[in-house]
Homo-oligomer: A and B are copies of this chain.
Amino acid sequence: MAGPSGKKEKVDKAGPSGGGKKKKDVKKETGLGLSVKKDENFGEWYSEVCKHEMIEYYDISGCYILRPWSMAIWEIMQTFFDAEIKKMKVKNCYFPLFVSPGVLEKEKDHIEGFAPEVAWVTKSGKSDLEVPIAIRPTSETVMYPYYSKWIRGHRDLPLKLNQWCNVVRWEFSNPTPFIRSREFLWQEGHTAFATKEEADEEVLQILELYRRIYEEYLAVPVVKGMKSENEKFAGGLYTTSVEAFIPNTGRGVQGATSHCLGQNFAKMFEIRYEDEEGKREMVWQNSWAYSTRTLGVMIMTHGDDKGLILPPKVASVQVVVIPVPYKDANTQGIFDACTATVSALSEAGIRAEEDLRDNYSPGWKYSNWEMKGVPLRIEIGPRDLENDQVRTVRRDNGVKEDIPRGSLVEHVKELLEKIQQNMYEVARQKREACVQEIRTWDEFISALNQKKLILAPWCDEEEVERDVKARTKGETGAAKTLCSPFEQPELPEGTLCFASGKPAKKWTYWGRSY
């Protein structure tokens, strides 16, 4: 990987620095480092962090280039998820990018949800197309006419397909890398079952995989729950989701969704099967997706004023090994020790790289790899060589440790696991500190202003959610439901809805959201 773009040349021109310079000087010299702090200007901080080197901004607004540093993380999640769904007998396929208008508009609620964001192709070369063609915002209407063709008898069920693809939603609200982009990558699973029970079961199996992606891979704590009627998937029966929370902005973020579509699309697209008695029945359907948004949530959750912090499980480079030569030291010996260290780690399946560039000081390299979020740094200098040890420096908490080279691999493995766990734990604690249980409207408004993740007793009425939205509308967006967590705290009889004063039916998370 190249260094932060545009900044390297300055060092080149200043001439190779032999090492030993203080980090502060190097920063000054190279312009390395972020220009804003996470707590001071979160939006600008996020944008800067993404540029090292997850994203490159593109000349079309709302479109971003995923650089290898982020793509590698996406691929690691993909490998995990793809293997898991294959165990569930889901098969991959690929449906076209284009949808004809008649099909797109077949399910009324669904198209109402997506119509304003649909991009239309109207020309090829210099000719107008006879009929404008839509680019998929999601593939329900692309796929289901064929489900209707493929599903005839009960033996054709369940039908479980998935595709990895790009989709386009030409949104006009503030574009944000990963979180809200006009084109994004995702997987979309589309399944059909004979019974609602099977569909219900799969919705939760998939949701659990999404939880694992966030919690086990990205070290981001999420809440599993049910979306409200207002917030469910357009045209579906119910939507479950994993919801994350960004303490700095006090916003919830929908992490991934697993929808039961019920029989609504089946009705519109006539997806019927003959059961064992020869009766024609409608199928029950699910669809579920997670996208490159996951990467944005990870960056927002873990990054600090030094840059990215990548969880070891998804980092394409888990360990970076940096030589720290001094003038009168055995430089070649140090370099050799670095190479040997990388070899030993690589052989043990740890993703390790050395940074032997001679035109940067160790201090510059430290900052550079910290910026890029590599979970563990190993430094090898003359004293380490003498003592047959290496120095490890954790990215998550800065803790330094000297470890004997004899037990290098075990130590590093253990450290990477500790980092992964600690990152999750820290993030969980930060989120927990933001959760506020409220009972009344005043408490609600006060908690909202304090950027809390609000847990409130709610009557579960659509009209009331709309009303809350209307009453909290402002520059920073209206508050809405995030989800009703499956793990419900006790709801004592007589508890009233914070907003309507009617009897509360459930605890629900509320807040502003991405």
In the complex, the count of this chain's copies comes to: 2
Name the one of B5, B67, B146 contacting A152, with C-beta atoms under 8 angstroms.
B5
The reply to whether the CB of A448 lies closer than 8 angstroms to some CB of chain B is: no
The reply to whether the CB of A122 lies closer than 8 angstroms to some CB of chain B is: yes
Chain B proximity of A45: nearest CB distance (Å): 22
Chain B proximity of A316: nearest CB distance (Å): 9
Knowing A12-B274, A72-B91 are in contact, say whether A120-B121 is a contact too (CB < 8 A).
yes
Chain B proximity of A162: nearest CB distance (Å): 9
Knowing A2-B150, A9-B152, A91-B68 are in contact, say whether A123-B133 is a contact too (CB < 8 A).
no
Chain B hits for A145, CB < 8 A: 59
Scan A100-127; emit 1 where CB is below 8 A from any B CB, else 0. Answer: 1001000000000001111111111110
Chain B hits for A65, CB < 8 A: 93-96, 146
Residues B71 and A92 in contact, CB atoms below 8 Å apart? yes
The reply to whether the CB of A170 lies closer than 8 angstroms to some CB of chain B is: yes
The reply to whether the CB of A248 lies closer than 8 angstroms to some CB of chain B is: no
Knowing A9-B153, A119-B123 are in contact, say whether A71-B100 is a contact too (CB < 8 A).
no
The reply to whether the CB of A183 lies closer than 8 angstroms to some CB of chain B is: yes
Chain B proximity of A292: nearest CB distance (Å): 8
Task: List A residues 1-55 near B (Cβ within 8 Å).
Answer: 2, 5-6, 8-9, 12
The reply to whether the CB of A482 lies closer than 8 angstroms to some CB of chain B is: no
Residues A68 and B93 in contact, CB atoms below 8 Å apart? yes
The reply to whether the CB of A208 lies closer than 8 angstroms to some CB of chain B is: no
Chain B hits for A121, CB < 8 A: 119-122, 135
Name the one of B95, B99, B183 contacting A98, with C-beta atoms under 8 angstroms.
B183
- The number of residues on chain A lying at the interface, defined by a beta carbon within 8 Å of a beta carbon of chain B, is 66
Residues A63 and B98 in contact, CB atoms below 8 Å apart? yes
Residues A60 and B124 in contact, CB atoms below 8 Å apart? no
Task: List A residues 138-154 near B (Cβ within 8 Å).
Answer: 145-146, 149-150, 152-153
The reply to whether the CB of A339 lies closer than 8 angstroms to some CB of chain B is: no
Residues A117 and B123 in contact, CB atoms below 8 Å apart? no
Q: Main SS of chain A's interface residues?
A: mixed
Residues A97 and B153 in contact, CB atoms below 8 Å apart? no
The reply to whether the CB of A185 lies closer than 8 angstroms to some CB of chain B is: yes
How far apart are the CA atoms of A149 and B56 in the complex, in Å? 10
Chain B hits for A2, CB < 8 A: 150, 155-156, 159
Chain B proximity of A85: nearest CB distance (Å): 12
Scan A195-213; emit 1 where CB is below 8 A from any B CB, else 0. Answer: 0000000000000000000
The reply to whether the CB of A421 lies closer than 8 angstroms to some CB of chain B is: no
Chain B hits for A152, CB < 8 A: 5-6, 8-9, 12
Chain B hits for A71, CB < 8 A: 91-94
The reply to whether the CB of A444 lies closer than 8 angstroms to some CB of chain B is: no
Nearest residue in B to A149 (C-beta to C-beta)? B5
The reply to whether the CB of A502 lies closer than 8 angstroms to some CB of chain B is: no
Residues B125 and A60 in contact, CB atoms below 8 Å apart? no
Nearest residue in B to A150 (C-beta to C-beta)? B5
Residue with the greatest number of chain B CB neighbours at <10 A, chosen from A65, A117, A185: A65
Scan A139-182; emit 1 where CB is below 8 A from any B CB, else 0. Answer: 00000011001101101100101000110101000000000001
How far apart are the CA atoms of A126 and B118 in the complex, in Å? 9
Knowing A63-B96, A155-B359 are in contact, say whether A118-B125 is a contact too (CB < 8 A).
yes
The reply to whether the CB of A75 lies closer than 8 angstroms to some CB of chain B is: yes
Chain B hits for A6, CB < 8 A: 149, 152
How far apart are the CA atoms of A92 and B145 in the complex, in Å? 34
Chain B proximity of A455: nearest CB distance (Å): 36
How far apart are the CA atoms of A270 and B205 in the complex, in Å? 51
Name the one of B58, B59, B98, B122 contacting A120, with C-beta atoms under 8 angstroms.
B122
The reply to whether the CB of A132 lies closer than 8 angstroms to some CB of chain B is: yes
How far apart are the CA atoms of A68 and B93 in the complex, in Å? 5
The reply to whether the CB of A357 lies closer than 8 angstroms to some CB of chain B is: yes
| Supplied contacts A9-B274, A115-B125, 5 more A-B pairs, CB within 8 Å | A2-B159, A5-B149, A56-B146, A119-B124, A155-B359
Task: List 11 A-B pairs, Cβ < 8 Å.
Answer: A5-B149, A12-B155, A59-B100, A63-B96, A65-B94, A66-B94, A72-B91, A75-B92, A121-B135, A125-B170, A165-B166
- Give the interface of A toward B (CB within 8 A): 2, 5-6, 8-9, 12, 56, 58-60, 63-68, 71-72, 74-75, 91-100, 103, 115-126, 132-133, 135, 145-146, 149-150, 152-153, 155-156, 159, 161, 165-166, 168, 170, 182-183, 185, 274, 357, 359
Q: Which 10 A-B pairs have the closest CB atoms?
A: A124-B170, A68-B91, A63-B96, A66-B94, A116-B125, A120-B123, A122-B122, A2-B156, A9-B152, A71-B92
